Structure 1
Amino acid sequence: MADRINMAYSSTNVTYGRGEGIVVGTGMNTEVGKIATMLNNADETDTPLKENLNHLGKILTIMILAICVIVFVVGMFTKQGTEPMNALLIDMFLVAVSLAVAAIPEGLPAIVTIILALGTQTMAKHKAIVRKLPAVETLGATDIICSDKTGTLTQNRMTVEKIFYRGSLHDDNDEIEENNPALLSMVLANDTKIENGGDLLGDPTETALIQYAFDQNINVHDLLEEHKRVQEVPFDSERKLMSTVNKYGDKFFVAVKGAPDELLKRVTSVKINDEITPITAQQRQDILQTNQDMAKKALRVLGLAYKVIDKTYDDPSTDNVEQDLIFAGLAGMIDPERPEAKAAVAEAHSAGIRTVMITGDHQVTAQAIAERLGILEPGHDERVLTGAQLDQLSDDYFKKHVADYNVYARVSPEHKVRIVKAWQANDKIVAMTGDGVNDAPSLKQADIGIGMGITGTEVSKGAADMVLADDNFATIVEAVKQGRKVFSNIQKAILYLMSYNVGEVLTVFMMTMLGWDILAPVQLLWINLVTDTLPALP
């Protein structure tokens, strides 16, 4: 679906432009309608805590009933003749009932609830807001974390990482002169609005270029004031270029940026050692090769070009403004990984939790980020699966081989649900992150759905079991730690409750077998009352 170019979808926003279309689906037949259908049909899964407590309850019930029957029958035989039959029957019945009451850990539901509630308070301090109480313990049992890339593993902020000019590639922290044509082109051919306080408003790609200039200690305000825009040719998705004409002393500076391959078609010259010479075929090839090398590292590459003219255009258009350009450089941008994400992925791995990246981005971008974070070992292309490739796999085959893949790219909502179900079919506890409406079905299907508090939609938050207040993957790992502590506390509480309950059962059982009268039914109930709840609290 992400690769379609001729469709407009219900419930999406139009950011610019206008057009006409034919309606091909309404209501539940739209893509958002299909998402609603998947959300309604998502399977509700029992939490590990619920399953374990149900199993424990069945075992206790069978054992207690058996022991009560044995105690009743044995007592009737061993104490026969000591008192009238009717009185003996009533006494042994009271002993059996008291034993059943004493053996059942009545305080367990209250204790588990209190432990979970305390866990939610601790998680809230770490910016993980729990919406459904059992999710606290489920986190501790998590085997797989299926994480979105943008905003969770990455910063959701485009950043210039590499810049190519004067025939060589430079890092973003290498110093660049204010009058460098590449810098001038990226700042002047830019529609970013700079708010008071330095906040940047505009397209993420353009704001990244302005932020790069700020990081280079360039006074962007003075630069824009000195080189005021007088004419422009706006960006067009067909020609993939944008141009502006700016004052440049007593002349005018034409700044052009756009897709490198389209830009090079308009370039006729290069500047080497302050001398402008015609561009050669080899120079074009070197520029294109650099563009490909940067793209392989998942960088979004923009081409930069310029020229200086004596006067403005009578009719500025692509046919006159964007011709006979001088190549200025290439700017490579990426949404970088969060600084703490790599350590969090490694920590999760050391704790036996596998991280799987699921994203709508292209395969190259997803693979590069996954390799940086340690989710994918470099060179293991076979562990990356696209949505189109996933469609070719049968459900049975995918369930058997789901562990072969670490990264999923260009996926749709249906793919996310299918991935979660495949892991669950292998008896894995799956946590799923998501922030969009299209993530809601997979969030509900997962054993624990994790919504995003900052960028998340209300629909995704409503389907989630837990919401991250900071949209940070490291917070998930911290929440898992707290979940394991909660699980440990519940285990300790159950161990305590069972230890003294078993003690009471064995005492009464041996007492009955030997024909002794040590504890009366009311004494059993009193012991149970004072030891069954408060001492077991964490």
Structure 2
Amino acid sequence: MEKKNYQLTRKEVLEKFDTSLDGLTNAEVKKRQEKDGKNVLEAKRKTTLLEKFLAQFKDLMIIILLVAAAISVFAGEAADAIIIFLVVILNAVFGVFQEAKAENAIDALKEMTSPYTRVRREGQVTQISSEDLVVGDIVLLEAGDVIPADVRFLEAASLKVEEAALTGESVAVEKNANDLTKDDLPLGEQENSGFMNTNVTYGTAVAVVTDIGMNTQVGQIAKMLDNVEKETTPLQKSIAHLSKILTVLILVIAVVIFAVGLLTGRESFLDMLLTSISLAVAAIPEGLPAIVTITLALGTQAMSKKNALVRKLPAVETLGATEIIASDKTGTLTQNKMTVEKLYSDMKLVNANDFEADADSRLAQAMILANDSVMTDNGLAGDPTETALIQYYLDGGLVYVKDVEDRLVRQNSIPFDSERKLMSAIVKDQKDGKIYVFTKGAPDELLKRADKILLNGRVLELTADLRDKILKTNHDLALQALRVLAYAYKELPEVPEDPSSEREENGLIFVGLTGMIDPERPEVKDAVAEAKRAGIRPLMITGDHKDTATAIALRLGILDKKDDSQVITGAQLDQMSDEELKQNVEHYTVYARVAPEHKVRIVNAWKSHDKVVAMTGDGVNDAPALKTADIGVGMGITGTEVSKNAADIILADDNFATIIYAVKAGRKVYANIQKAIQYLLSANLGEVLTLSMMTFLGWSIFAPVQILWINLVTDTFPAIALGVEKGEKDLMDRKPRGLKTNFLSNGVGTGILYQGILEGLLTLGVYLYAVTFPVHSSSAAIHADALTMAYVTLGLLQLVHAFNCKSLHGTIFTKDIFDNKFFNWAILASAVLLCATIFVPAFNTIFHVTSLALAQWLVVLAAAVILVAVVEIVKFFQRKSFNS
């Protein structure tokens, strides 16, 4: 079996890629570039604006509307056809604008990879664009560099690489150029290899490029994404379901009314055809696609102000349905920044904020001096652990960092290596000329080399009892998932020209310990609590160690108590079949030491239980799961390019709390769409019922222009206004609605039925009243007045009913009833347009209406009062039922 790259010796790897330490020749580079191409990740072809625009017309509801518009043109109703076409075009333009806007914003985030790399070619070191690298190139790396391709290290000096983006490991890992022979080592244990887009934090290296572009580990994950099919969102499923129901109803009703009208012989073939078409157009809520899109678009605008960038409109609503949030730990729940949390000095353990020190503190001096961090124009640079030690004093406002460095000037050093797990700095005190060595490292190793302790300002013998107490403290801190470092010093007779560990790092004086951790984001704990209150289960999925993951989960409230049965590792997942994982997945809350394929399995296991799953993450290793999940939430700042492209929503501030805000926004969007649907369909049902009963009873029926005008002035703008209602106060106290619900759930379907029937009966009742108690004596005038009263009643009932729909179950008699100014203006404008057909004499003939007396108007208004009263009574009993 052929050896893998990490298993090759340094000689074998150079032979395999036909190169040498002097690098490739320019001619060979050109030949390899022609064969293998550029060192870039392949980007999918972007859809053009025209393709985006045409894609908007694939929705079934849109197709129905276009057919209705075509029939309207054929029937001579060009005005209504124009209105329908305008709504459809508006819907398409909104969709294209939002997608293009999101893509442009995402393009602006594409600044992750290092644009240049130092290489050795033909024996000369030169700097080239990273995309011009080829397999076999010899690259030179140092702290601060981004590794530009997959490489095998040939030389490594104190090398550390931060691989969180690929493996999820929050602490930089030590690398070397040693030969490895084990089979199937995971990426995190391939110590002699580096991977594209990971960061060198410490030391230097010479390496040979083994893979470029799509053949790198990052590229392999990018390929995985192409095999993930994106499913239909809950919103799309609900709209499709609703469209099918409406299509059948509309066809049946139009055909029945047309047939009954012809059979009764009261209307001509053309009149009944126009009436049936008008009713069909009215029965289709042509504003619905635009209302859904506009509501979603307005929701995305509100979310963008809170740093959540939406790539696809339906993602807003999907996030609102979320039941599971599977979150990466590093950089999402935590700050991705090592921080000093505990200090141990004078045999006392204190919180970092409570540690009192000055420039003469030996522990402070050791933390600052046994440290290879450097200050640059962009801040501290170096190993994250070491920069954290300096940052601790800078954040605390302790200005003596520079004082310490100016007074105790470094003369020499003993670099860190993984064998002895120590590093030392040799300094000279500028005040008295004394020479000191300050040492930092693993507590157990450092204590082996210490025989004294600095205790309350005095140097004492380090007894076995004291040593045991220090080791116990180290153990206790480790159990809290803290990374523990120990510090010591001693005075030297002179500056050694060639310092050695055996001589300088023995006989040390122990001064203390520090406990460090990648801390949780301060706002995340409240966000987790709110998620739980909203019935959402937060999960932690990380590549970090089990103890670290458990400790962070406890601190954030993801775990309520320490319970190993809720924590599982990648190794344990490997022992489970997919079926076993599906059966047991609900038992696990924290997943540690996982690989990319584990994350996809976890998401699929939860989805098998019909759960709506949101996956958050920023690393390359998160991308397949981001795309597999119902909603992928990527990170804008720390997120890798691959993860951003796989995500549906990107958090510009990388803040977990923003996810919960987005959930709330998604719930509000869905609730508002439900309100708009309830309003539209109950109103349209009222129209259909009224016209159907008029036809069956042999009464005068509405003229097509009356049906179309009512439909025009009462449908779109009030429904859009309902789409921008404020979220109800208990939105996050409700459980997620899940996959098995649709827009007609939660009493909406029942509401549409009884409210539509009520509107129809009240309209018919007003018509019957007008005929029974006429104002005029002639039969023609009586029926003209009755039809006019029924016409204005049906229109005004719908506008009044819009107030009922501001809350599905809550009363309209609250102080907030008029707080939506857009809604108020929409209702007022619609009412004016409706009443103008009666009050403006020039319109009377066009709309086949008459002027009404005050008594007749009072009857119309009484019908509106009855509608509000009945709906309020039903809502009252609904609330009593919910609370019981």
CA distance in 2, matches of 1:74, 1:461: 58
Deviation, structure 1 residue 255? 0.3
SS of 1:486's partner is helix
SS of 1:160's partner is strand
Deviation, structure 1 residue 97? 2.5
Greater Cα offset, 58-67 or 351-360:
58-67
Question: Which among 225, 233, 251 is matched to residue 47 of structure 1?
Answer: 233
CA distance in 1, matches of 2:599, 2:516: 28
Match in the other structure for 2:685: 502
Question: Which among 519, 523, 527 is matched to residue 702 of structure 2?
Answer: 519
Deviation, structure 1 residue 72? 2.8
Equivalent residues in 2 for 1:210-359, closer than 5 Å: 210-214=390-394, 215=396, 217-248=398-429, 249-359=432-542
Greater Cα offset, 175-184 or 358-367:
175-184
Deviation, structure 1 residue 2? 5.2
1:100 and 2:280 are equivalent in the alignment: yes
Match in the other structure for 2:371: 190
1:536 and 2:719 are equivalent in the alignment: yes
**Deviations, residues 359-409 of structure 1 (Å, cap 9, x unaligned):** 111111111011011000222111111111111111112122212111111
Question: Which among 339, 355, 375 is matched to residue 159 of structure 1?
Answer: 339
**Deviations, residues 55-102 of structure 1 (Å, cap 9, x unaligned):** 11111112222222322333333x14x57xxx44x4333333222211
Between the two proteins, what is the percent identity of the paired residues?
A: 59
CA distance in 2, matches of 1:529, 1:409: 57
Shift of the 397–128 alpha-carbon distance from structure 1 to 2, 3 Å rule, reads same
1:203 and 2:383 are equivalent in the alignment: yes
Q: Given that residues 196 and 217 in structure 2 are in contact (C-alpha distance below 8 angstroms), is that contact kept between their aligned partners in structure 1?
A: no
Query: Once superposed, what is the RMSD of the aligned Cα atoms?
Result: 2.1
Greater Cα offset, 214-223 or 97-106:
214-223
Question: Which among 582, 585, 588 is matched to residue 399 of structure 1?
Answer: 582
CA distance in 2, matches of 1:298, 1:335: 10
CA distance in 1, matches of 2:380, 2:497: 32
Q: Given that residues 332 and 618 in structure 2 are in contact (C-alpha distance below 8 angstroms), is that contact kept between their aligned partners in structure 1?
A: no
Counterpart AA for 2:295:
I
**Deviations, residues 403-458 of structure 1 (Å, cap 9, x unaligned):** 21111111111111111111211111111111122222111111111111111122
Counterpart AA for 1:383:
Q
Counterpart AA for 1:192:
S
Deviation, structure 1 residue 216? 6.5
Q: Given that residues 409 and 427 in structure 2 are in contact (C-alpha distance below 8 angstroms), is that contact kept between their aligned partners in structure 1?
A: yes
SS of 1:233's partner is strand
Question: Which among 620, 637, 640 is matched to residue 437 of structure 1?
Answer: 620
Q: Given that residues 554 and 560 in structure 2 are in contact (C-alpha distance below 8 angstroms), is that contact kept between their aligned partners in structure 1?
A: yes
Deviation, structure 1 residue 28? 6.2
Question: Which among 397, 411, 427 is matched to residue 610 of structure 2?
Answer: 427
Question: Which among 166, 186, 193 is matched to residue 8 of structure 1?
Answer: 193
Counterpart AA for 1:384:
V
**Deviations, residues 500-527 of structure 1 (Å, cap 9, x unaligned):** 1111110111011112232123432333
1:75 and 2:261 are equivalent in the alignment: yes
1:456 and 2:639 are equivalent in the alignment: yes
**Deviations, residues 242-297 of structure 1 (Å, cap 9, x unaligned):** 10111132211110001112212222222345443443333322222111100110
Question: Which among 282, 297, 305 is matched to residue 117 of structure 1?
Answer: 297
CA distance in 1, matches of 2:250, 2:693: 15
Q: Given that residues 303 and 331 in structure 1 are in contact (C-alpha distance below 8 angstroms), is that contact kept between their aligned partners in structure 2?
A: yes
Q: Given that residues 2 and 410 in structure 1 are in contact (C-alpha distance below 8 angstroms), is that contact kept between their aligned partners in structure 2?
A: no
**Deviations, residues 162-182 of structure 1 (Å, cap 9, x unaligned):** 111222212112212432222
CA distance in 2, matches of 1:209, 1:30: 34
CA distance in 1, matches of 2:638, 2:458: 49
The total of aligned residue pairs comes to 530
CA distance in 2, matches of 1:156, 1:31: 22
Match in the other structure for 2:725: none
SS of 2:540's partner is strand
Question: Which among 409, 414, 418 is matched to residue 601 of structure 2?
Answer: 418
Deviation, structure 1 residue 34? 3.1
Counterpart AA for 1:454:
I
CA distance in 1, matches of 2:209, 2:366: 40
SS of 1:450's partner is strand
CA distance in 1, matches of 2:713, 2:249: 23
Match in the other structure for 2:246: 60
Counterpart AA for 2:618:
D
Q: Given that residues 123 and 479 in structure 1 are in contact (C-alpha distance below 8 angstroms), is that contact kept between their aligned partners in structure 2?
A: yes
CA distance in 2, matches of 1:275, 1:10: 49
CA distance in 2, matches of 1:271, 1:529: 86
Deviation, structure 1 residue 218? 4.8
Deviation, structure 1 residue 472? 0.5
Shift of the 386–374 alpha-carbon distance from structure 1 to 2, 3 Å rule, reads same
Counterpart AA for 1:346:
A
Shift of the 460–483 alpha-carbon distance from structure 1 to 2, 3 Å rule, reads same
Structure 1, unaligned runs of 5 or more: none
Shift of the 519–192 alpha-carbon distance from structure 1 to 2, 3 Å rule, reads same
Match in the other structure for 1:374: 557
Match in the other structure for 1:18: 205
Q: Given that residues 196 and 216 in structure 2 are in contact (C-alpha distance below 8 angstroms), is that contact kept between their aligned partners in structure 1?
A: no
1:142 and 2:322 are equivalent in the alignment: yes
Shift of the 177–14 alpha-carbon distance from structure 1 to 2, 3 Å rule, reads closer
Q: Given that residues 71 and 509 in structure 1 are in contact (C-alpha distance below 8 angstroms), is that contact kept between their aligned partners in structure 2?
A: yes
Higher Cα Rg, which structure:
2
CA distance in 2, matches of 1:53, 1:39: 27
**Deviations, residues 171-225 of structure 1 (Å, cap 9, x unaligned):** 112212432222211111112223469x322222112211223316251111100
SS of 1:173's partner is helix
Shift of the 251–295 alpha-carbon distance from structure 1 to 2, 3 Å rule, reads same
Q: Given that residues 176 and 216 in structure 1 are in contact (C-alpha distance below 8 angstroms), is that contact kept between their aligned partners in structure 2?
A: no
CA distance in 1, matches of 2:235, 2:198: 42
Q: Given that residues 48 and 138 in structure 1 are in contact (C-alpha distance below 8 angstroms), is that contact kept between their aligned partners in structure 2?
A: yes
Greater Cα offset, 59-68 or 501-510:
59-68
CA distance in 2, matches of 1:29, 1:397: 33
Counterpart AA for 2:261:
G
Counterpart AA for 1:524:
I
- TM-score, normalized by length of structure 1? 0.93
SS of 1:98's partner is helix
